[in-house]
Structure 1
Amino acid sequence: MAERIQCDVAVLGTGPAGLQAAIHAARRKADVLVLGKIVKSSAYQTHVENYCCIDGTTGEALLEEGRRQAERMGARFLDEDAVSIRKTHPGFEITTEGGSIVSCKAVVLAMGISRKTLKVPGEKEFLGRGVSYCVECDAHFFKDKVVAVVGCESAAVSGALTLLFYAREVHLVCRKLLVAENLAERLRETPVVLHEGRWVEAIEGTTEVESLLLDDGTRLPVQGVFIELGAKGAVELAAELGVALDPETMEYVSVNRRQETNVAGIYAAGDICGPPWQIAKAVGEGCVAGLEAAAYAKKPAKETS
């Protein structure tokens, strides 16, 4: 059920970086809320064997214990993805897929990065020529055009809703909607054309995207395809706030040694800060981010404005 929630520090992500940030921020007596779904963490399905002091375990066991530790420290959990974030005075306001509004003084971005692709013909060939992985980054290129979003989770649905402000016609292709009912209802109340129970076989065109071939043989004429196969990603949320990305790749959030971004009150940790993709790195960065975010949230308002 949608609600308004106040906290000192909001941690976006339930992987090793996010859980460690929550543990340390809560230990510093900050009121911590963690957003996300542990089962969606890239570490959840892994076997852990090269992490110091742990002689073999599963990612699932490690993350579940991390959640219990964070809860023992006082952190709260909301098993919903963030779909938007905006600056307020003196902090930030986050909207979740279920419609809840979270007001906080500091944010830790620890959602990992999306490395999921469709792996269909035409996807690589038309990247940058109609194929995109970031609605917030590229929506304005498709003004008054027909576009499709491919995906089943919050990133896909929120992307489709955003594209309604730009495109002439928006399609959403998904096997099954996997979002909170509030978000699903919002989608169904809009002009987005939902192709549920369908998937993409190929992306077609000559020099640019011209159509999608669906698995039932349908050809859907489109000029743009947004591939959004997970939760709303760090890069997209960071773009809404003006958080600087790594200038060489534009794939990772730039931070200093205190895990601070260029936006005061916004910290980042884990895979979204770049390789190596290791739990040890994520935990270390999460520790620093949690401590720094808690300290920032405890400052008087005049020092953070």
Structure 2
Amino acid sequence: VEKEEEFFRITLANGIHYLSKAVIIAVGSKRRTLNVPGEAEFKGRGVSYCAPCDAPLFKDKVTAIVGGGNAALQAALLLTIYSPKVYLIHRREQFRAFPVYVDLVRNNPKIELVLDSVVEEIGGVKTVEWVRIRNVKTGEEKRLEISGIIIEIGSEPPKDFFKKLDLRTDEKGYIIVGPGQETNIKGIYAAGDCTAGPHKKKFDQIVTAAAEGAVAALSVYEQLKLGIEEEIAGY
């Protein structure tokens, strides 16, 4: 995306160009990965990044969750509906989650906490069969026999793309937007998982992302058809 006078030139990967007076960026964010041996190999064969999507697939199977935030603890609690045993692997001693979730996982007999530990390798034959973990304090390694692992360590936006456009972002790289989803660059709006919207720290759902898209579209309409513009984001 490049600015050309009052237009933006959008160049696609196939070389096709488009000119527009407004642009809505809705590129989403990408799930963070562990980058360990076996993770990519077993993706979709026991390695998952979405508990609500895949939890039923692990019915009556021993599973593991990696992460220490709200999403990870919620995933562990959800898995206990289907799985007889859930290992909750976290690299620190303390969780970064709401106290209510921490209490629930600590008191759930199906959840075994594996703290101060990181995943070193995921293995198996056709599907996930085990995970090798290492204690970050003692260096001790051990293998857990599991049939599935859900990785919940957050997501990140395409920061480099945003930097090229000089878009203002927060400390994590998400685009800062105003009430009309406008960015710090006139004519560029952003919506969805790539933004630092006010609800992001509490809710990160499809419905909230879609709502931002609707607001952005209405703002573009007001700008182009009615000549109404919000103040540039950035405060």
8 Å contact 1:150–1:174 — kept in the other structure? yes
Q: How does 1:150-169 map to 2 (within 5 A)?
A: 150-169=66-85
* Secondary structure at the counterpart of residue 120 of structure 2: strand
Cα deviation, residue 286, structure 1 = 4.3
The amino acid across from 2:154 in the alignment is G
* Secondary structure at the counterpart of residue 199 of structure 1: strand
Change in CA separation of 1:288 and 1:200 when aligned onto 2, cut-off 3 Å:
same
Distance (Å, rounded) in 2 between the aligned partners of 1:272 and 1:287: 11
Q: How does 1:7-46 map to 2 (within 5 A)?
A: none
Q: Please point out which of 127, 140, 148 is paired with 1:208.
A: 127
Aligned counterpart, 2:57: 141
Unaligned runs of 5+ in 2: 4-25, 135-139, 157-180, 182-189, 196-210, 219-235
TM-score, normalising length: structure 2: 0.53
Length, aligned pairs only: 142
Distance (Å, rounded) in 2 between the aligned partners of 1:157 and 1:211: 21
Distance (Å, rounded) in 2 between the aligned partners of 1:170 and 1:271: 29
Q: Please point out which of 173, 195, 212 is paired with 2:114.
A: 195
Distance (Å, rounded) in 2 between the aligned partners of 1:159 and 1:114: 18
Distance (Å, rounded) in 2 between the aligned partners of 1:115 and 1:223: 21
Q: Please point out which of 213, 217, 220 is paired with 2:144.
A: 220
Matching of residue 175 in structure 1 with residue 91 in structure 2: yes
Q: How does 1:92-131 map to 2 (within 5 A)?
A: 112-131=28-47
Unaligned runs of 5+ in 1: 1-49, 52-109, 234-258, 260-267, 274-284, 293-305
Query: Please, what is the CA RMSD of the aligned residues?
Result: 3.3
The amino acid across from 2:100 in the alignment is N
Cα deviation, residue 287, structure 1 = 8.0
Q: Larger C-alpha radius of gyration, 1 or 2?
A: 2
Moved more, 222-231 or 156-165: 222-231
TM-superposition CA deviations, 1:211-245 (whole Å, max 9, x none):
110013110000000011028x9xxxxxxxxxxxx
TM-superposition CA deviations, 1:141-169 (whole Å, max 9, x none):
11000000011111110000000000111
Change in CA separation of 1:119 and 1:288 when aligned onto 2, cut-off 3 Å:
same
* Secondary structure at the counterpart of residue 204 of structure 1: strand
- Give 1 or 2: higher helix fraction: 1
Q: How does 1:71-86 map to 2 (within 5 A)?
A: none
Cα deviation, residue 291, structure 1 = 8.8
Q: How does 1:257-296 map to 2 (within 5 A)?
A: 269-271=191-193, 286=212, 288-289=214-215
8 Å contact 1:152–1:230 — kept in the other structure? no
Distance (Å, rounded) in 1 between the aligned partners of 2:67 and 2:213: 33
TM-score, normalising length: structure 1: 0.41
Distance (Å, rounded) in 1 between the aligned partners of 2:126 and 2:213: 47
TM-superposition CA deviations, 1:144-197 (whole Å, max 9, x none):
000000111111100000000001111100012111222211111112101011
Distance (Å, rounded) in 2 between the aligned partners of 1:133 and 1:272: 18
Matching of residue 185 in structure 1 with residue 103 in structure 2: yes
Report sequence identity in percent: 42
8 Å contact 2:31–2:49 — kept in the other structure? no
